A and B are shown apart, each in its own frame.
Chain A
Amino acid sequence: ELKVEQNPLFLSMQEGKNYTIYCNYSTTSDRLYWYRQDPGKSLESLFVLLSNGAVKQEGRLMASLDTKARLSTLHITAAVHDLSATYFCALWTLNNYQLIWGAGTKLIIKP
């Protein structure tokens, strides 16, 4: 069964701290996505990771992909309140053109 597992599912942290969200998956794939969702809103694409060792950074967010370990990480550096949201990873499946989604990590950053 195809599985995408995120942890933690909930994270409360102080501004200025660093933290990492983990995304493990159960099958091979050639791409992994990270999305952000604000309450009551739709999904905003953050990163598309296409190959082993890929690293992408945007502001205080950095995503990486290790296809051998079937693991992607989203690292938050010096968190600010505006980053409070739910973050999803999603795996592209090669055989049927679907995105399989993690359950999401709800991130709350306290001033």
Chain B
Amino acid sequence: DTGVSQNPRHKITKRGQNVTFRCDPISEHNRLYWYRQTLGQGPEFLTYFQNEAQLEKSRLLSDRFSAERPKGSFSTLEIQRTEQGDSAMYLCASSFVSNYEQYFGPGTRLTVT
């Protein structure tokens, strides 16, 4: 399967713990995006990379959130000191620079207890 993959698919953590998610984009895609989606809402943009450079971050991305894309391949999203309000589906998408159509992964569902 050459689609976007995300791991883990589900994560349950206690408040205050750190969590890290991984996204493997479609291999030829230069751009990689992270979104957060809560129940009954559309996705909210968090950040995006072009190759290894993080070019845009949303105001929603507090200093507890950090994302990396070393070597322009896979990306990680880390949330430090998780709060209950962080419970959501975290979606990753990738695209070519020249074609803005984004292909989404299956998401990581985070539950903070």
Binding site for B on A (CB under 8 A): 4, 31, 33, 35, 41-45, 48, 88, 90, 92, 96-104
Chain B's interface size range is: 20 to 34
Residues of B within 8 A of A42 (CB): 91, 104-107
Binary interface encoding of chain B residues 40-52 relative to chain A, with 1 for a CB under 8 A from any of its CBs, else 0? 1111110010000
B105 CB, min distance to chain A CBs, angstroms: 6
> 29 A-B contacts, Cβ less than 8 Å apart?
A4-B42, A33-B101, A33-B102, A42-B104, A42-B105, A42-B107, A43-B43, A43-B93, A44-B104, A45-B101, A45-B103, A45-B104, A48-B100, A48-B101, A88-B42, A92-B100, A97-B48, A98-B48, A98-B56, A98-B58, A99-B43, A99-B102, A101-B43, A101-B44, A102-B42, A103-B40, A103-B41, A103-B42, A104-B40
**A interface, by DSSP: helix, strand, loop or mixed?**
strand
Determine if A43 and B91 form an interchain contact, defined as CB atoms under 8 angstroms apart: yes
Residue of A nearest to B92 (CB): A42
Q: Is the CB of A104 within 8 A of B42?
A: yes
Q: Which of B41, B102, B106, B107 has the most chain A CB atoms inside 10 A of its CB?
A: B102
For residues 69 through 113 of chain B, which have their beta carbon under 8 Å from a beta carbon of chain A?
91, 93, 100-107
Docked Cα-Cα span, A44 to B100, in Å, equals 14
Nearest chain B residue, comparing its CB with the CB of A96: B56
Shortest CB–CB separation between residue A78 and chain B, in angstroms?
Answer: 27
CB < 8 Å: which of A31, A48, A90, A92 contacts B42? A90
- Distance of A84 Cα from B62 Cα, bound (Å): 36
